[in-house]
Structure 1
Amino acid sequence: MTLLDTLTADMKTAMKAKDKATLSVIRMLKASVSNEQIKLGHDLSNEEEVAVLSRELKQRVEERDSYQAGDRPELAAAIDEQMDVVKRYMPAQMSEEEVEAIVKETVASVGATQKSDMGKVMGALMPKVKGKADGKLVNDLVQKYLN
C-alpha cells in the first residue's frame, strides 16, 4: 500500500470521526505527495515519500519554534498536534544510541579525524539515516566525534 493509499484511507476515517484537525493535516500531506508526484512525473519511491514527509515535518518544527520564540504557546501547541499526525506516517525514528553507533562506524570507515572531514562523513552517513534520524542530532554527534 502506497503512502497516498494510506493517506486516502486515513482521510476517510478522519472524515467519519469528524476530526477536523487530523483531516486538514492529512489533506495537506496528500497534496504534498501528489504535487511531488506531478513534479517528478512518476509514482514516488519509499525514499521520495520519506523526503516529502521529512520536509513537511521540518516546516512544522520551524513554525513551532517561531511561535515559541514569539511567546505564542497556544499556536505552538496546535503545531505540535500537526507534527504528531505527520510523524504517524514517518518511518520509526532511531534512538540517539543507534545514531551514535552509526556515526562512530562511519567516522572510522572514512578515516575522518578533524572537522575538515565533516563533509566526507556527512556524505557517507546521511543515506544511512535519512528520514530515520533528526539531521541536527546527526550533525551534533558528527561534530562531537571530529573534535
Structure 2
Amino acid sequence: MRENKFMLHKIEMDLKDALKTQDKAKVGVLRILISKCKNKSIATGKPLEDSEVMKVLQTAAKQHKESIKLYKQGQRSDLVDQETTELNIVEAYLPSMMTEDEIKSIVTSVIEQTGASSMADFGKVMPQVMKKGAGKIDGGVAQNLLKELLS
C-alpha cells in the first residue's frame, strides 16, 4: 500500500528541501500541489493513489499551459516567465509525454482494432487511445490526429 503513495510523499519531501534552500518559486508551486491533492483526498474521503496524484499534476500543468497562452496573447512576458517556471516545476513530477509520431501509431492501431471508419466512431476510439497511453498522451494532440484520420 505504501508504494501507492509515493508521488505525494516525494512532493512533500521536495517541499522540505525547497524550504531549506529558500527556493520561493518551488515552495509556492509545491504547496499549491499538496493543497490540491489534500482537497481531492478530502473530497473522495480516502488517501490518494499515485494515479490520482498524477491526474492532479496533469490538471495543474494544463492550467499553467493555458495561462501561458493567455498571457502571451496579452503580451505579459513577466507573467509568461513566471508561469513557465511553475510549469517546469510541475512537469518534473510527470512522466515524459509521448511524441506526436508515437501517438499517431497508437491512434492508427486502435482505429484498425475497432474498425472505425468515420467521425461517428470517435467516441468509441478516443477512450481506448487514452487508455493505451496511460497518462503519457496529450489528449488534444490525440484528438486532432483522430479527427484527421477519421475524416
User: What TM-score bracket applies, with the shorter chain setting the length?
Assistant: over 0.9
| Equivalent position of 2:123 in the other structure | 119
Alignment of 1:15-54 (within 5 A): 15-54=19-58
Once the two structures are TM-superposed, the CA of residue 116 in structure 1 deviates from its matched residue by: 1.7
Q: Which residue of structure 2 lines up, in the alignment, with residue 59 of structure 1?
A: 63
Q: List structure 1 runs of 4+ shifted beyond 4 angstroms.
A: none
Q: Which amino acid aligns with 2:80?
A: A
How many angstroms does 1:45 deviate by? 2.1
Letter in 1 for 2:64: R
**Structure 2 gaps, min length 5:** none
What is the CA-CA distance between 1:30 and the residue it aligns to? 0.7
Q: Calculate percent identity across the aligned residue pairs.
A: 33
Task: Name the TM-score, length of structure 1 as normaliser.
Answer: 0.94
Contact 2:68 2:83 in 1 (8 A): yes
State the 1:127 CA deviation: 1.7
- Are 2:89 and 1:85 equivalent residues in the alignment? yes
Out of 83, 103, 108, the position equivalent to 1:104 is 108
For residue 130 of structure 1, report the CA deviation from its aligned partner.
4.6
Q: TM-score, normalised by structure 2?
A: 0.91
> Comparing 26-35 with 118-127, which one deviates more in the overlay?
118-127
> Which of 123-132 and 33-42 deviates more?
123-132
- The alignment's C-alpha RMSD in Å is 1.3
Structure 1 gaps, min length 5: none
Opposite residue 127 of structure 1, the aligned amino acid is: K
Query: Does the residue aligned with 2:46 lie in a helix, a strand or coil?
Result: coil
1:38: how far off? 1.0
Q: For the Cα contact (< 8 Å) 2:8–2:50, is it kept in 1?
A: no
Structure 2 CA distance, aligned partners of 1:95 and 1:66? 24
Query: How many residues end up aligned between the 2 structures?
Result: 147
CA deviation profile, 1:29-88 (whole Å, cap 9, x unmatched): 111111111111112223211111111111111111111111111111110110000001
